Copies of this chain bind each other. A is one copy, B any other.
Amino acid sequence: MSPSRSLTARERARAELTSEIKHQARAQLAEHGAHDLSLRAIARELGMASSAIYRYFPSRDELLTALIVDAYNDLGDAVDKAGKAHRKPRLRWRACCTAVREWALAHPQEYALIYGSPVPGYAAPQDTVAPAARVPLVMLDTVRGAHEDGRLDPAFPGPLLSPTLKAQADAVAAAVETDLPADAIARAILAWTQLFGMISFELFGQLVGSVDPSKPFFDHAVETMAEFVGLRA
């Protein structure tokens, strides 16, 4: 199994069909939601026996896990790309937040799969942890950039951190190897929950009848959170 060896026909076929299965699964997801994801339906759509799926995924849960990991990574890629397009922290922040929302609107069921209510009876395995961390990491990294330029300047002092929260924020800082102060970490986490709260509310229909369409509110909130976090224009 030397890494440079070219793939056999069998390996190529396998990779291709694996991704076709996932592709069909995503299509089903888009139409019926995660709970109704059916191996038989996927097989039917692919014109193969339902038992054949088991050559590729040992169970429905494993397929779900793969879809979850893919979704996190797809979103992560989109946000990475958006972030890399800008150097100035405020612009980067804006681009990242917008990228999250746009990805969510373009992939509502995949968004629901990863940020909606957990599928009951399904426990997300360890494999999802790292991909799930990608978006908050990019956001934190944006804040770190501003901090390193000495331009991090929160709009108002805000309450002191409790000892527990400070310890948690310090632990996060240590984990991502930055010297961001705990207060900045806490602000970033708050903005992170704000961002996804807003998007979930939009997607799940809670904003109908108040801020609907939601883009103006979204944009406003993104700017507000940027100021709050300290990314001045």
A interface residues (Cβ-Cβ under 8 A, vs B): 32-36, 109, 112-113, 115-121, 124, 129, 132-133, 136, 155-156, 158-159, 161-162, 164-165, 168-169, 172, 186, 189-190, 193-198, 200-201, 204-206, 209-213, 216-217, 219-221, 223-224, 227-228
Is the pair B165, A220 in contact by a Cβ cutoff of 8 Å? yes
Cβ contact within 8 Å between A211 and B120: no
Give complex CA distance A57, B120 in Å.
24
Q: Give how many copies assemble into the complex.
A: 2
> Nearest residue in B to A118 (C-beta to C-beta)?
B204
Beta-carbon contact of B190 and A193 below 8 Å: no
Q: Can you list 27 A-B pairs with a CB-CB distance of less than 8 A?
A: A33-B120, A35-B120, A109-B120, A115-B200, A116-B116, A116-B204, A118-B204, A124-B205, A136-B210, A155-B155, A155-B158, A156-B156, A159-B220, A159-B224, A162-B220, A165-B211, A168-B211, A168-B212, A168-B217, A172-B210, A189-B210, A189-B211, A189-B217, A190-B220, A190-B224, A193-B221, A196-B197
